[in-house]
Amino acid sequence: MEFNSLKQISDYIEDNPMAKEAHLYHPIPFEEFNKLSTSSNADEVYRKWNIIKRILMHLYNNSLKDINVLDIGANGGFYTFSSAKEGAKVVAFEPQETYSQVAKNIIDIEKGLDINWINESYDYKKVKGEKFDVTFMLSVFQWMADGGNKIDYAIKQLKEVSKISKYLIFELGFNKGDSCLKTENKNHYEELIKLLKTNTQYKYFNLIGVTELWNDCNRFLVICSNQNVNLKEFYETNSYYKDSEIFEVDVSKCISGSLFSFGRGKDSWHYFIKTLEEYKVNDNINYEKSILKKYYDFFSPNNFGEFLFGSECVKSNELYGLPIKSYIPLPWIDIEFYKSYLIDNVKLINKDGEVLQEDKVREYIDKNKEVIFKSFDNLIIPNFSNSENLSGSFHLYGKQINEAGEKIFKDIIEIYESMKSLGYCCNEFKNGFIKGVLIKNNNDYRFIITDGQHRLASLVSLGFDKVSVKLDTRFKYREINVKDIEEWDMVKYGLYHKDLAKEIIDLIFNKLDLIRLNRIKKLSGKKDKCKEKVIYFGASNKGKMCLDKYKHKYDVVYFSDNDKSKWGKYINNIRIISPEEVKKLNKYKIVITSQHYLDIARQLINMNIYNFEVIDKNLVLI
């Protein structure tokens, strides 16, 4: 079939897809093909090319004109065409007939490109006598090795490439993806470098990036050479990597989005750090035996307030009435960020049942923000999807199904092993810098992590006391001062009363580690496993006496009482809640500790609550 334009080729592919679940495997770098879907992450493909291009520009005096490129496993030609458009002379090998025919059609139309496209599997004998400035082996080695079945053949090809190419840009991962190579070594980067050192003639191997072309499938991008590539100079002189918002923070001042501390002190606790401490002592530990599994099994909060603060803190009822598995903005979050979050996670429907498009969603929120952000009752609350818990991408609390927990466990160990080998490679990794929001309070500060909990936990476990970070530019207000609390959007519009916002800030700066320790100390407490979690109904002296008498039988999570003046107060650090709140906490048994237990029993029955017991006036359980 003959084509006269790139648009004709693109239209043909649109009607005749070439990949299993998309039009193409990789994108084709001409605008006529932008409409076509890809099975790989197109943004990540372009990001990888930008890394490669900048490195090569650095090595070849800001021009790729007339350099000789060998592209092994060219697929549809993304890296071949991208190089040729910069003036490079490219020899490309691709065995698939369908992709090769498309590439040759493009070459016939784009006559200014210097490309020799060979529709065959690569073999070093086919380029005998030729020399190349750079060779691309990008996620192709595992295919040459047929997942390990032809490893000797693939290694022979790799060795011969190192004899004819000044630079080799090599990409590979392990244990994930079609035809992947397997390794028992938890440090995948170490395994990759061992492969290259053993089977090439190169002396220097520099990591230039980590890619994720497919979901949860990370691969290392390495440049191999016989001269030391000065990447430090490259990063310092290349404006792409400069950022005025890079600064250093103490890890002891860093806090997760769920308000766990990253410090190493005896009063600090973070589930990832504790998991890595176990792993460092016993690298054969599995998820089922890990403290991470215990944490997820134990920490299954009932509402947003309990998720953040447990039952020990925050004297306002508001947060304890909010649903769990939701995104609730904390006091310092700006409306613009929350608006973007809603657009990404919520479908808003008009009165005619039509889903509002992004511009209409923004218009609706802007028009109604004084109502939406006036109270939690009016707030639009997106729920986390079940898929997040199934995939293991949501790691803040349990209970996790075993598959998700296993994935989280493996992820934190893989990241730790990678950083143990590579260090904190901020520039090389996708989103390499840890990001967050800086909250200043007089002469003190806290850095709330919004991206990079796994990386920070790994660095803390490796002994880092300080780390370089960036402010998260998704937030309009990312450097926040407590003295301006009344101007914070969520306070100004009324979602948070100023006193509640101050109480949360006081918790973060002064009480966080104590509260977290109180929450997690039960992880190692054997007695608590036998105790039933209950709510005592009756916040009186009798209730206090029942606490002591039945302390080995019951774990009291809340008190409740009909006296409104007691709501929000505490008995022995146990919060007193209203009967309405009790209705929402139906997972707990009610134990009536009031002198008026018959009246309370009738009240509970009228509320359709039947799971209760009674302690009589003599403190006897009846």
584 and 517 within one domain: no
**What does DSSP say about strands 570-571 and 574-577: parallel, antiparallel, or unpaired?**
antiparallel
32 plus 141 within the same structural domain: yes
Q: What is residue 296's predicted lDDT score, i.e. its pLDDT? A: 83
| Domain-embedded: residue 435 | no
Q: Would 619 be classed as within a structural domain?
A: no
Cα distance between residue 303 and residue 23, in whole Å: 44
What are the backbone dihedrals phi and psi of residue 205, each rounded to the nearest 5 degrees, phi first?
-135, 115
Going from the C-alpha of 142 to that of each of 1, 178, 367, the distances in angstroms are 33, 9, 54
Output the pLDDT for position 385. Answer: 45
In a domain, 439, yes or no: no
Residue that finishes a domain, picked among 209, 240, 271: 240
- Strands 444-451 and 434-441 come out as antiparallel
User: In residues, how long is the chain?
Assistant: 622
Tokens standing for residue 46: 């372009």
What pLDDT is stored for residue 242 in this prediction?
46
Residue 397 vs residues 48, 271, 434: alpha-carbon distances, Å: 34, 10, 21
The CA distance from 70 to 92, in Å, is 6
**Calpha distance 447→435 (Å, rounded):** 9
Same domain, 293 and 373: yes
- pLDDT recorded at residue 173: 87
Same domain, 101 and 148: yes
Kindly report the backbone phi and psi dihedral angles of residue 286, in degrees, each rounded to the nearest multiple of 5, phi listed first.
-110, 175
Distance, C-alpha 447 to centroid of its chain: 17
In a shared domain, residues 522 and 538: no
CATH number at residue 565: 3.40.50.720
Cα–Cα distance, 536 to 561 (Å, whole number):
9
pLDDT at 389: 43
Please identify every stretch of the chain with a pLDDT value under 70, giving residue numbers as ranges. 215-216, 231-246, 264-267, 309-317, 324-326, 345-356, 382-395, 397-400, 425-431, 513-530, 622
Q: Are residues 180 and 197 in the same domain?
A: yes
SS3 state at 150:
coil
- Please give the single-letter amino acid code of residue 99: Y
Helices marked H in 373-482: 386-391, 402-422, 453-461
Same domain, 492 and 556: no
pLDDT score at 527: 42
Q: How far is CA 25 from CA 46, 50, 141, 216, 310, in A?
A: 13, 19, 17, 17, 48
Do residues 125 and 163 share a domain?
A: yes
Chain centroid to Cα 293, Å, comes to 19
Any domain includes 404: yes
What is the reported pTM?
A: 0.56
Give yes or no: residues 82 and 162 share one domain.
Answer: yes
Write out pLDDT tens, residues 390-429.
444 566 766 667 788 888 899 899 889 888 877 776 655 5
pLDDT at position 314 is 46
pLDDT recorded at residue 217: 72
Q: What DSSP designation does 176 have? A: S
Which residues, including other chains, have CB under 8 Å from residue 343's CB and lie 6 or more apart?
Answer: 358, 361, 362
Total domains in the chain come to: 3
CATH value at residue 187: 3.40.50.150
Task: Look at residues 263, 203, 155, 216 and name the one whose alpha carbon lies nearest to residue 404.
Answer: 216
Vertex 334 angle, CA 446 and 345, to 5° = 110
Give 613's strand partners. 591
Nearest to 138 by CA among 247, 205, 223: 223
Residue 149 domain flag: yes
Is residue 245 one of the residues assigned to a domain?
Answer: no
What is the per-residue pLDDT across 270-307, written as a single tens digit (0 to 9) for each? 889 999 999 999 988 999 889 898 888 877 777 777 77
Place of tokens 């947003």: 304
Q: How many CB atoms lie within 10 A of CB 432?
A: 18
Structural domain containing residue 284: 259-418+483-528
pLDDT (0 to 100) of residue 90: 97
Last residue of a domain, one of 528, 559, 586: 528
| Max CA distance (Å), the chain | 99
User: Are 310 and 202 within one domain?
Assistant: no
The domain boundary residue, chosen from 467, 493, 528: 528
Q: What is the pLDDT of residue 617?
A: 78
Positive or negative torsion for Cα 180, 183, 186, 187: negative
Same domain, residue pair 506 and 536:
no
β-pair partners for 210: 220, 429
Q: Is residue 620 part of a domain?
A: no
Asked if 25 and 43 sit in the same domain, the reply is yes
- Who contacts 377 (Cβ-Cβ below 8 Å, separation ≥6)? none
Q: What local confidence, expressed as pLDDT, does residue 518 receive? A: 60
Cβ 303 vs Cβ 323: under 8 Å: yes
Q: How far is CA 413 from CA 84, 134, 354, 380, 393, in A?
A: 40, 34, 45, 36, 15
Sign of CA dihedral 420, 423, 428, 432: positive
Q: What is the pLDDT of residue 113?
A: 95
| Long-range pairs, 17-26, Cβ under 8 A, ≥24 | 18/76, 18/98, 18/99, 18/102, 24/76, 25/75, 25/76, 25/99, 26/75, 26/76, 26/78
pLDDT at 451: 87
